[in-house]
Amino acid sequence: MKITDFRVGDALPEHRSFAQNGAAHSENKIHDDTVARQYGFSGGLVPGVTVHAYMTRPLVTAFGRDWVERGTISTRFNKPFYEGGLVIARAFVTAVSEKGIEAELQALNEHEDICAVGTASLPAEAHEAPPPGEFPEASLPAMRPPATASILGEMNVMGSLTQTWDPDQNEAFLDEIEDDLPLWRGPEAVLHPGYLIRFANTILVRNVELGPWIHVSSDVTHFRAIPTGVGFTTRGRVLETFERKGHKFAVLDVLVATDSGEPAMRARHTAIYEVRKLSNA
């Protein structure tokens, strides 16, 4: 479809799936039922990056590969999803012009509670990508230091990651998020943007040692799709740290680039690296 085919108020195709907590046995114990309950949750949290992936589905269904190559998305996670709960991903067109399309996003649970919100766009022209030199590659630490404000504040260059397309891992990811769009499979397949955003989490946990922590938001710009067989690197830096209501936050600036150095995705990725404990815990 063309940009001119859309009108303000149009609902993009809704998508329903059942939440899967693929991180239940990960190093981050906020996804473990027992530990998460010590922080006041009903059980292990479904990762924010997984919810982000659910929220891309209406956009890709409506806009196709164009959105993967130049679209933007900002997501904020307000309430948790839990294993097996219904996830309803909705999007509504809020603006249409010669500059592109803008949309509002929601992710709701089975009670129609809005658990995550966001905005997205399909610009008529791609945003200018940052020069890869702004995000130099560096070695990962041999031993991860503890995540503290002082240590994170010194990470102007984080240790970077190198990844090669893994068809089996990709298939497992698509099964986890219940996304059956043809764009992600076959000889012309490209990597799912929800798969890429996971590496914004990975670069954090590979650079510092964390206790239970929570991904709370991402502001993402896509510059190109990554096709089958192409490797990529994840590079990053810490922009700031701050404390709010007893939680300690870190804001990352992350770039995913192909192995030839072409930027594919940039994300401002915010996480609570130290979660406030309950007063009676």
- 128 occurs within a structural domain: yes
What percent of the chain is predicted at pLDDT more than 90? 89
Q: Residue 159 in 3-state DSSP?
A: coil
Q: How confident is the model at residue 258 (pLDDT cuts 50, 70, 90)?
A: very high
Task: With respect to residue 279, please indicate whether it lies within any of the assigned structural domains.
Answer: no
Coil/strand/helix, residue 261: coil
List, for residues 155-173, the tens digit of each pLDDT value. Answer: 999 999 998 877 888 888 9
Query: CATH number for the domain including 168?
Result: 3.10.129.10
| Contact criterion met (CB below 8 Å) for 88 and 14 | yes
Which pLDDT score is estimated for 167? Answer: 80
In a domain, 42, yes or no: yes
**Domain span holding position 115:** 3-274
Number of domains observed in the structure of the chain: 1
Please count the other Cβ atoms lying within 10 Å of the Cβ belonging to residue 141.
13
Euclidean distance between CA atoms 98 and 103, whole angstroms: 15
- 198 occurs within a structural domain: yes
Average pLDDT rounded to a whole number, residues 84-100: 97
**pLDDT (tens digit, 9 = 90+) per residue, 11-35?**
999 999 999 999 999 999 999 999 9
* pLDDT single digits (tens) 218-255: 999 999 999 888 899 999 999 999 999 999 999 999 99
For residues 198 and 268, what is the distance between their CA atoms, to the nearest angstrom?
Answer: 13
In this prediction, residue 279 has a pLDDT band, given cuts at 50, 70 and 90, of: low
Q: How confident is the model at residue 1 (pLDDT cuts 50, 70, 90)?
A: low
Measured between alpha carbons, how far is residue 69 from residues 179, 189, 222 in Å?
A: 18, 13, 6
What's the chain's average pLDDT?
Answer: 94
With a cut of 60, say whether residue 280 has pLDDT above it: no
